[in-house]
Amino acid sequence: MKYKYSIIMSIYNEKILWIMESIESILAQSFKDFEIIIIIDNPNYFEAIEFVKKLQLENLKYFVNEKNIGLALSLNKALEYSEGEYIVRMDSDDIMLENRLKIQDEEFKKNKKLDFLGTSAYMIDEEGNIFSDFKVPLKYKKILKKIKKQNCFIHPSIIIKKKILIEAGGYRNFPCSQDYDLFYRLLDKGYYGYNLSQKLLKYRIRTSSLGISKGLVQYLSFKYIKDLGKERRKIGKDSYSPKRIDEILKISEDEQKKFMQFRLKVLRSKNIKKILVYLKASFCSKYAFLFTKDLILSKLKIF
């Protein structure tokens, strides 16, 4: 293989400034044995296409999708064109710290059993200001327990052996939380992964990424992934169906809006009696009922 690492990235509607900062942070890495593969998943984003064209880097490959196919399929496409032994995830609005690849590479050399590795991160706003730490569980055993209820990895901090990602079947075409589905499946298959405590990424929180308009789609996708995990742990395999994904995507905007209004109402209430009243009221909507029931069963933790 020509490169040790293949850094895969998808561009959809991110600001050119963010894309520039992301790529600059890759090129500034102290570890240099990598290629960059960019999939532009928006054929009408001409400014981004022109920007990537002008980069003229020897270790860069880029492809423009004929139509929008989503993050999961774009990453699978990048995987097909990769030459590296390891796949490095990176988002086009995030920023690597200078020694990210070097530190993760050293960890792989130190631990030969390691199949995939994440890190902790800083959270930044749309202007690039750090406003919080993004903490994740570190140890493998703790992650094994927590993965049943929550994603334990920061997707753009991940490095994974290419052969492992291929053996797992790549990403499945969820509209969101594709990474949670992947990591849950990897752990269920017995692959070994954990997180470093070092913050090696600046993870951008965008207004459009907060799930305000697509909260129900996100909730149902996340719930479906957890249900598939329960199924795997019970019978050794799951019944993932693209038809179920289509059903989730067909939910009307009006229904999503009503769900989000109900969700916010419930989450803002810290009184258990009020939550139980909301549970009773939620019987009029199967999605509101599912959400309120899950919230109570999770001991009122936000998931």
Cβ neighbours for 4, distance < 8 A, ≥ 6 positions apart: 33, 34, 84, 85, 86, 105
- The residue among 193, 209, 225 that closes a domain is 209
Please tell me the distance from the alpha carbon of residue 225 to that of residue 233, in angstroms, as a whole number. 12
Any domain includes 302: no
Dihedral sign (CA 30, 35, 39, 40): positive
Q: Residue 247's domain spans which residues?
A: 215-297
In 41-182, DSSP assigns E strands to 60-64, 86-89, 95-96, 116-124, 130-134, 159-161
Any domain includes 303: no
* pLDDT on residue 286: 63
**Could you tell me if 120 and 182 lie in one domain?**
yes
List b or e across 245-279, with b for residues whose CB sees 16 or more CB atoms inside 10 angstroms. beebeeeeeeebeebbebbeebeeeeeeeebeebb
pLDDT single digits (tens) 102-144:
999 999 999 999 999 999 999 999 999 999 999 999 999 999 9
Please tell me the distance from the alpha carbon of residue 234 to that of residue 237, in angstroms, as a whole number. 8
- The residue among 151, 182, 209 that closes a domain is 209
CA atoms within 13 A on the CB side of 214: 15
CB 23 within 8 A of CB 90: no
**Could you tell me if 220 and 203 lie in one domain?**
no
**Could you tell me if 61 and 188 lie in one domain?**
yes
- The residue among 209, 229, 264 that closes a domain is 209
* pLDDT on residue 283: 54
**Could you tell me if 163 and 271 lie in one domain?**
no
**Could you tell me if 56 and 197 lie in one domain?**
yes
Any domain includes 81: yes
Any domain includes 186: yes
pTM: 0.88
